Amino acid sequence: MIELAVFDMAGTTVEDGDAVNASFRAALSSASIEVDPVAVNAVMGLPKPEAIRILLSGNCHQVSDLLVDAIHEDFVRRMREHYEFDPFVREVPGAAAAFAALRRAGILVALNTGFSRTICATLLSRLGWHAPAVIDADVASDEVPRGRPHPDMIRLLMSRLGIKDPSRVAKVGDTRADLEEGANAGCGLVIGVTSGTFTREELRTYPHTHILDSVAEVPTLVFSSQTGDGSAL
């Protein structure tokens, strides 16, 4: 029986016009470092400072804390501006309805993200997704010792919400890091969605129990799993 559903944000429950990829590349470019969009997609879902380190290393660039911090600060500024002012930032169709359906059934709903708290707070404010009105809790990657693919964010949410058994948790996300996070936490359902960075074929290569087209389908899957009717996809 699922007691908690943990959803990723950008690409999973939030449409932002690929702003994360664009902002990554712009911040790196401002530091005279050019990276391919495909390389950026490969680090989606990770804590953003870690993603920057990987991109710098892959570009054969010397990595220093000072450089990573400067690029990350630029990235945060760009993302906050985008989430505050871009008219096309919106929920993935059916996301809020999915939250509501799960909560009506007594299932707690939480959000987690590879963003820092600063960006997370800006986005939550833009969408009006505050606890306890719309969700039950949220956590950002800079609020735990280790971000994805480590299970720290899920475990912190479980602790806050009184969930003891990870097999009663569903993790939903659009990236490799999301799926590996769910698997590493021991979640009973590890659900990939194809609305974001990774295709269905790409998601299939990582740990998962199901792959869906959208978060709008999550309540039906979770409810069917409660009665033993869910099947791996």
CATH code, domain with 117: 3.40.50.1000
- Predicted pLDDT of residue 226: 82
Q: Does residue 60 sit in the same domain as residue 140?
A: no
Question: pLDDT of 102-145, one tens digit each?
Answer: 999 999 999 999 999 999 999 999 999 999 999 999 999 999 99
CATH code, domain with 27: 1.10.150.240
- Domain end (from 85, 118, 134): 85
Q: pLDDT at residue 233 above 80?
A: no
Degrees, nearest 5: CA angle 142-149-213: 105
Q: Alpha-carbon distance 145 to 130, whole Å?
A: 24
pTM of the model: 0.92
Strands (E), the chain: 4-7, 14-15, 90-91, 108-113, 137-140, 169-173, 189-193, 210-212
Residue 232 lies in a domain: no
Q: Does residue 63 sit in the same domain as residue 144?
A: no
> Quick one: tokens of 176?
């490799």
Higher pLDDT: 231 or 21? It is 21
Mean model confidence pLDDT for the chain: 95
Q: Does residue 81 sit in the same domain as residue 122?
A: no
Inter-residue contact 112 to 153 (CB < 8 Å)? yes
- Predicted pLDDT of residue 61: 82
Domain that holds residue 37: 19-85
Q: In what helix (H) or strand (E) does residue 133 lie, and over which residues does it extend?
A: none
Question: pLDDT of 33-82, one tens digit each?
Answer: 999 999 999 999 999 999 999 999 988 788 999 999 999 999 999 999 99
In three state form, how does the secondary structure of 58-89 look? HCCCCCCHHHHHHHHHHHHHHHHHHHHHCCCC
Q: pLDDT at residue 229 above 80?
A: no
Q: Does residue 129 sit in the same domain as residue 207?
A: yes
Q: Alpha-carbon distance 161 to 108, whole Å?
A: 8
Q: pLDDT at residue 232 above 80?
A: no
Q: Does residue 122 sit in the same domain as residue 9?
A: yes
Q: Does residue 64 sit in the same domain as residue 174?
A: no
Q: How many domains does the chain have?
A: 2
